[in-house]
Amino acid sequence: MLRSVITGIGHYVPPRVVTNQDLEKRINTTDEWIRQRSGIVTRHHVEPGVNTSDLAVEAARRAVADAGIDASTIDFIVAATLSPDHYFPGIGVLVQAKLGLGTIGALDVRNQCSGFIYALGAADQFIRAGTYRRVLLVAAEVQSSNLDYSDEGRDMAVLFGDGAGAVILEPNDSDDGRGVLSTHLFSDGRFASRLWMEKPCPGDNPTFQKEFFDQGKFFPRMDGRHVFVNASERMPEAVRIGLAANGLDVGDIDALIPHQANDRISQMVAKGLKLPEEKVVRNIDRFGNTTAASIPIALDEAIKEGRIRRGQLVVLTAFGSGYTWASALIRW
Ligand code: ACO
């Protein structure tokens, strides 16, 4: 069976580092609270004027360079974000135009923290089907410009960071067994309002009302405990389903890359799987939660640090707004 393989990877974060101490000046919070509850020490925030597609393009350029290809040979784009530059269109077409990629198709994926794995699932199917042979998969977020720094939103405002990650996906024409083994995608929309940005909502006429601004309805909100419990259960479950589908078990995992939601959640995922913590890639301390971008950023770091080597089993898992959750198994 034809498999897709990651032939290039890159990430980009904006240069401005924001420490917990910086946040203490703006938010009713403490470094100690943030570290204890999330494990986050620093995150990166964009300067005004920098958009999600700008970060996406930087990450994409790095993935293209890593693959050693000419960008003009990319034949499809899949872009994942919850923070598109505009209400519409999505960022896929903006990335396409900024990279000068002619008229190739660009698909936007709106699955929030699970966005990268959903996008990987879609891109993998296009490659397996023989529809495309060189897909740019990019995930990017600018969260910092729409966080509620008041007491009501401080649980989320301390968590999020800006950043982007990208991979190039191509068919593996050899029989060395490398590539994406499978992806497993799940959702439960009954819990949409537990982690969401309620407005803008076209059911309101007019959609943008000052009253909604005054009520903070244009900010992301979450039911932290509900998210915590569900994320801690659903990610291990998705990993087990993926392993079983491939006749593998937890002992076969060389590296697990969970969505970097919160370090306590990543620890719960390791515990839930009975996986030694040293096999779990965690970099949330330096980047915060970068939503769709967190997995490709962590994957890129782990590869460049030599933590992931050819032939190893790499497992990705994510959970987020929707709720959506997912896993992917890759023979590196
Ligand atoms: N600084 C200081 N205090 C804060 C902050 C903050 N940034 N945010 C909230 N608090 C306060 C609350 O107002 C509350 O105060 P109160 O007791 O006076 O009402 C108190 O801290 C709650 O603290 P805890 O008792 O520790 O509450 P809990 O155990 O529910 O923890 C938390 C809250 C940390 C949000 C937890 O539910 C959690 O980790 N949830 C997971 C959320 C998460 O990581 N989401 C990631 C984003 S979504 C995704 O990527 C999947």
Print pLDDT tens along the chain (332 aa). 789 999 999 999 999 999 999 999 999 999 999 999 999 999 999 999 999 999 999 999 999 999 999 999 999 999 999 999 999 999 999 999 999 999 999 999 999 999 999 999 999 999 999 999 999 999 999 999 999 999 999 999 999 999 999 999 999 989 899 999 999 999 999 999 999 999 999 999 999 999 999 999 999 999 999 999 999 999 999 999 999 999 999 999 999 999 999 999 999 999 999 999 999 999 999 999 999 999 999 999 999 999 999 999 999 999 999 999 999 999 99
Tell me which H or E stretch contains 276. none
Q: Across the chain, what does the average pLDDT equal?
A: 97
CA of residue 156 to ligand 1 center, whole Å:
8
Ligand 1 shell residues, CB under 6 Å: 29, 33, 37, 113, 154-155, 158-159, 195, 222, 224-225, 227-228, 231, 261-262, 264-265, 289, 319-320
- The reply to whether 289 belongs to the active site is yes
pLDDT tens for each residue of 49-98: 999 999 999 999 999 999 999 999 999 999 999 999 999 999 999 999 99
Residue 287 has which token pair? 């980047």
Q: Which of 51, 111, 283, 289 is catalytic?
A: 289
Q: Nearest-CA neighbor of 250 among 279, 290, 222, 224?
A: 279
DSSP H or E segment with residue 43:
strand 42-44
- The distance between the two most distant Cα atoms of the chain, rounded to a whole number of Å, is 60
Could you read off the pLDDT of 264-312 as tens digits, one per residue?
999 999 999 999 999 999 999 999 999 999 999 999 999 999 999 999 9
**Residue 244 and residue 250: Cα distance in Å, rounded?**
10
Q: What pLDDT is recorded for position 1?
A: 78
Give Cα 81 to chain centroid, integer Å. 8
Query: Which one, of 157, 196, 162, 219, lies nearest residue 33 by Cα?
Result: 157
Strands 313-320 and 255-258, sheet pairing: parallel
Q: Which of 23, 37, 111, 268 to mutate to test the pocket of ligand 1 (most atoms within 8 A of CB)?
A: 37
